[in-house]
Structure 1
C-alpha cells in the first residue's frame, strides 16, 4: 500500500489558522502537511460546517454512497454542511481543508462538487493555510476564495449519490480508493474479509454491477484522469497500479478510446 491512512494510525500532524472564529463569516483552515499518513476524511467527520478540500500536490477522491469522483491538483472538492461524503488522498500528500459556516447560494446549491482551482485561487488557499496572515487579511481572502468558486460552480453539476453498497465489497472498494495501486488479489481480499472468494465476487457484482477485476480497472483508469495533467504517463501508470506504461496505455485506450496523451490534448490538458 502507498501508506497508512490517518484513520488507521489514529493521528496526523495538522496546522490550523483561524480567521474571525465565532463570527458567522469566520473561517478555519486546516493544513495536513506531507507526512507518513495518507490523509482521509471519513463519513463520520464533523458536518456542522461547509467544507472545501484541496491538495496542491496530489489527487483526491470523494465518495458519496456508492458513487466516486476524483479531483486533480488543480481542482477542489466542495461539500455542503450536513452532506455525508468521504474524502481521501491517493498518497502521502498535503491537503488544505477550509471550514466555513456561510457560503454563497451558488455553492450551497450543490451538495457536493468538484470545482476548478486556477493559479490565483490556488495561491489564495495556500496563503490562508500558512501562519502570519492577519484576521482581516484572512477574511478578505475568504471572500475572494468563495467568490471565485461561486463564479465557476454553475459549470459543474452536483456530484451524484448512489446507494451505498453493503457487504464485504464496500470495505474492499474503500481500501482500493485510498490506494488504487494496491495489487491485492480477490482471494487475499476474501481471506481478509473472512468470506469465500465466490461470496466476495458476488458482493462486487451485486454492489457495483461489475466483477472485482473490472471494477478495480475502471477505478484505476478514472483515478488516473486526475493524475495525468500533473504527472508523466509512466508515473501515472505506476501510481494507479500498472506495472508498465504500455499496459496502462492499452487499458486506457480500451476504456476511453484514445491514448492518454491524445485524451489530454483533446480535453485541452
Structure 2
C-alpha cells in the first residue's frame, strides 16, 4: 500500500513493529503518526527529515536522545522535539510503545526550538494515544492534533522543581530523575526541596506511578542502562546511572531482567 504523501521519504526505524495513522494529508495542518511497539530495543539511527517536524513520545517509558553533542533522556510528561532538517538520534528499550508525530507546521511554543526535550500536557499525551486507532475520523484526528500542538511547551530550566503547572510533585521529581538517573538525592531530600513531607511525596509516587519513589528511580536507572550498555562498559554504565559499585548494579539488573548486564550487552 502506498504511504501517505506527508510521509514520503520519512526514514523508518527497523526492526520494529509499527502502525501508521494519517490525518489531513495534503493540508498544512496535517499530521502523520507512527506507533512503534518496542519489544526489545528501538534504534532510530541518525535521522534528518527535511520536510517534517517530529515529536517523539514514550508515555510509559524513557527515550534516550542525541542531537549534536548533547545526549540525554526524556521521561514522563515530556517529549523530544526535532524541527525539520535537524539531525538527531532516538533510542528506546522495551517493552513499551513509542509515538513519532510528524507535522508540517510546528507548535507555536516551539518555533524557536531546533531540538530538545519539551513538556507534554496530560491532555496532549492522551490525545496521541487515543487518536492512533483505525476507526478515528479525519475531523477527530485534526482536533486531536490541535490538542497535541497546544500541549507541548519548552521545559523549565533544569533543576527547577518549583513549577506548579506540573501535575503533582512526583511527576516533577520523576522528570529530573529521567534527565539524570544518577541523581543521588533521597526521598526525604526531594521532599524538603518541594516543602513537603516524605510521606506526602511517597503517596504521590504511588498515585501517579503505582509504585514507590525507590522503585521508580530504579526503573529509570535500569531503562537508561539498557541503552548505555550498547556503547559503554558495565563499570562505566553503573557509574553513569547512579550505582555505587558495578556489583550492586549487576545485582539490580539481574533481578529486573533475569540476566547480567554483561550477558545483555553481548546478546545485543
TM-score range, shorter chain: 0.5 to 0.7
What is the aligned counterpart of 2:180 among 209, 222, 229? 222
CA distance in structure 2 between the partners assigned to 1:90 and 1:29 by the alignment:
20
What SS does structure 1 have at the residue aligned with 2:151?
A: helix
CA distance in structure 2 between the partners assigned to 1:83 and 1:21 by the alignment:
22
What is the aligned counterpart of 2:99 among 96, 121, 130? 96
What is the aligned counterpart of 2:151 among 126, 129, 148? 148
What SS does structure 1 have at the residue aligned with 2:49?
A: coil
- 1:133 aligns to 2:141 (yes or no): no
Task: Give the number of the structure whose residues are more often strand, by fraction.
Answer: 2
Query: CA contact under 8 A between 1:115 and 1:156: conserved in structure 2?
Result: no
In structure 2, the residue matched to 1:255 is none
Query: CA contact under 8 A between 1:78 and 1:115: conserved in structure 2?
Result: yes
What SS does structure 2 have at the residue aligned with 1:33?
A: strand
Q: CA deviation at 1:237?
A: 4.5
What SS does structure 2 have at the residue aligned with 1:81?
A: coil
In structure 2, the residue matched to 1:17 is 21
What is the aligned counterpart of 1:120 among 120, 123, 142? 123
Query: Where does structure 1 lack aligned partners over 5 or more consecutive residues?
Result: 1-5, 158-219, 252-269
Q: C-alpha deviations, 1:159-189, integer Å up to 9, x for none?
A: xxxxxxxxxxxxxxxxxxxxxxxxxxxxxxx
For 1:1-269, list aligned pairs within 5 A: 10-35=14-39, 37-149=40-152, 152-153=153-154, 155=156, 222-223=180-181, 231-241=215-225, 248=242, 250=244
RMSD over equivalenced CA pairs, Å: 3.2
Change (3 A) 1:222 1:139: same
CA distance in structure 2 between the partners assigned to 1:140 and 1:84 by the alignment:
29
Change (3 A) 1:222 1:130: same
Change (3 A) 1:233 1:129: same
Query: Where does structure 2 lack aligned partners over 5 or more consecutive residues?
Result: 1-11, 159-177, 188-204, 210-214, 226-233, 246-268
CA distance in structure 2 between the partners assigned to 1:238 and 1:16 by the alignment:
30
CA distance in structure 1 between the partners assigned to 2:155 and 2:112 by the alignment:
9
CA distance in structure 2 between the partners assigned to 1:100 and 1:110 by the alignment:
15
Q: C-alpha deviations, 1:31-55, integer Å up to 9, x for none?
A: 00133x4122222343320000001
Task: Give the number of the structure whose residues are more often helix, by fraction.
Answer: 1
CA distance in structure 1 between the partners assigned to 2:47 and 2:106 by the alignment:
22
**Greater relative contact order: 1 or 2 (C-alpha under 8 angstroms, separation 6 or more)?**
1
TM-score (norm 1): 0.56
Q: C-alpha deviations, 1:116-142, integer Å up to 9, x for none?
A: 223222111111223211110100110
What SS does structure 2 have at the residue aligned with 1:42?
A: strand
